[in-house]
Amino acid sequence: MAKQYSKTKLAKFRKSIEQKMGNVSEDVDTIREGLGTASNKQGGVTPDSIYSLHMADAGTDSHEQEKNFMLMNRGSDYFKNLEIALERIDEGTFGICKICDDLIPEERMMEVPNATKCVDCKEKGKLGLG
């Protein structure tokens, strides 16, 4: 493991990751608030409108609620991956490919800070060559 990013670049990555974590946290909180108000309904139906709501509307509400749960789970998973990326910064393994031990390009790490493989190794893995 001879190659690794400088402390200055690692600080830059840390700042970017922490900013992304804040954004993801806000997004998940917003979705959670929306789910909170939707779950106060009974199957997407308020007691006042139980007879006036069309069955298709209830299906749409149910679909939207499922989609929001999926988005919330996805955001939570991404947040956990960003936490792991911060741990890798602390350990000194951030930006180092798990397969070939080469340094993952800075551009990739800025866009996908939870990446653990370089593009070549990732593609080989997807193609079953690695």
List per-residue pLDDT tens for the chain, 130 residues long: 458 899 999 999 999 999 999 999 999 998 888 776 655 555 444 554 454 567 777 777 788 888 889 999 999 999 999 999 999 999 999 999 999 999 999 999 999 999 999 999 999 888 877 5
| Domain boundary assignment for the chain | 7-95
How far is 13 from 53, CA to CA, in rounded Å? Answer: 50
Phi/psi of residue 108, nearest 5 degrees: -65, -40
Are 86 and 17 a contacting pair, CB within 8 Å?
A: yes
Beta bridge partners of residue 103, listed in sequence order: 96
Q: How far is CA 26 from CA 59, 72, 76, in A?
A: 28, 11, 11
